[in-house]
Structure 1
């Protein structure tokens, strides 16, 4: 069953492969900002320096646990090339969270954020939560976009903000933790501990009637 916010609910948390909720997340931004690397680092804890540009759309699944609830993340990695933009926009439908990325060493990718934010406003639901991510913080010597500039833009757009590095695995998990926290707070489900750390291992399950994410 799917609710109005594009969130599916599992039937029974005690059944193998079942889940309490599923969140569709998108990772968007210009080509070569590191979208695929961020997604793979988070879902597989691996970094591949020679990853090729995504053609069209790809996705990975990751199951996490928050406050004893099983949440399945469906993370869609989208192509940044102009010719794939019409494909990408179709995937905004049903997304409850978006990771919007730029490269801190690429001014053009930062300037493109205005266009990307316009796409989000046009195609995503009003309730969709967005986090702006300045990627490749490991190449500080090549930085051209100051942290303050990214933070200011995020505040203007009403987005969350973090800088991250897939190479160093810096703030990668935090990107998705903050996004999931924001999604949970946006939904009608009571969040007992909004800042609770997301984990990959299953804790003792709560009674079925307790439905906080």
Structure 2
């Protein structure tokens, strides 16, 4: 599968909505900034409400627009952010590997995600801040076991050092594309193309066995 980036004048074939969720200060906004703009802000402030950015990619000669939503992790914004799960085909479930509590909260975030999002959404569990290895509070094995039990993809990342950030988003986007392309070959009655950029999202129909499967990703070892 070939990949390239940038803003293209060509027709957009697909729009994939991805949501970032997890506790406040785990680095969700930094992951988004690193992936979308290859930036990292030392003075990043807490996200208020919801923000989103886009990045256009080429996957298998198709132009894909990733529309990535970042939501505040604070409890008081839960009511605001719950509605934005609608239409999402991928999710990045983020914890801070130096703060055990943020990992312990992942089960609750996953429950909320599955309660609001499409049941076939592609989910990547991300242990962020792996550059702070000496401060590790969540063993990689604990996260791997959780991911395997819940059928999630998993990687450890560092937004600061740009470790595995690209790979994490790429894995989710490629898997979404793989499922949708496969379904498009067999479902003539469904139009998967993004006909315009006016908020069109792609919703994955029932995938059956295609939705399972895990991907392990190491970090700074």
TM category (shorter chain) comes to 0.7 to 0.9
TM-score, normalization by structure 2: 0.77
Which whole-Å CA distance do the structure 1 matches of 2:152 and 2:79 have between them? 23
- Aligned counterparts of 1:135 and 1:30: Cα–Cα separation in 2: 12
Q: Which runs of 5+ in 1 are unaligned?
A: 1-14, 191-213
Please report how far the alpha carbon of residue 87 of structure 1 lies from its aligned counterpart in structure 2 after TM superposition: 1.3
Q: Where in structure 2 are the equivalents of 1:48-197 lying within 5 Å? A: 48-187=41-180, 188-189=183-184
| 1:22 and 2:18 are equivalent in the alignment | no
Q: Structure 1, residues 16-37: CA drift from partner, whole Å, max 9, x if none?
A: 2630000000011000000000
Q: CA deviation at 1:182?
A: 1.7
Name the one with the larger helix percent. 2
CA contact (8 A) 1:54 1:79 kept: yes
Aligned position for 1:8: none
Q: CA deviation at 1:88?
A: 1.3
The residue that corresponds to 1:207 in the other structure is: none
Deviation of 1:79 after TM superposition, in Å, equals 0.5
Number of residue pairs aligned between Structure 1 and Structure 2: 176
Could you list the per-position Cα deviations for residues 106-131 of structure 1 after superposition, in whole angstroms to 9, with x for gaps in the alignment? 11100100100100110010111100
Whether contact under 8 Å (1:132, 1:161) holds in the other structure is yes
* Matched-pair contact (CA < 8 Å) for 1:127–1:186: no
Runs of 4+ in 1 over 3 A off after TM superposition: none
TM-score using structure 1 length: 0.80
Instruction: Give the distance between the partners of 2:60 and 2:111, measured in 1 at CA.
Output: 34
Q: Note the C-alpha offset of 1:57.
A: 0.3
CA contact (8 A) 2:31 2:165 kept: yes
Match of 1:37 in 2: 30
Q: Partner of 1:91: helix, strand, or coil? A: helix
CA RMSD of aligned residues (A): 1.2
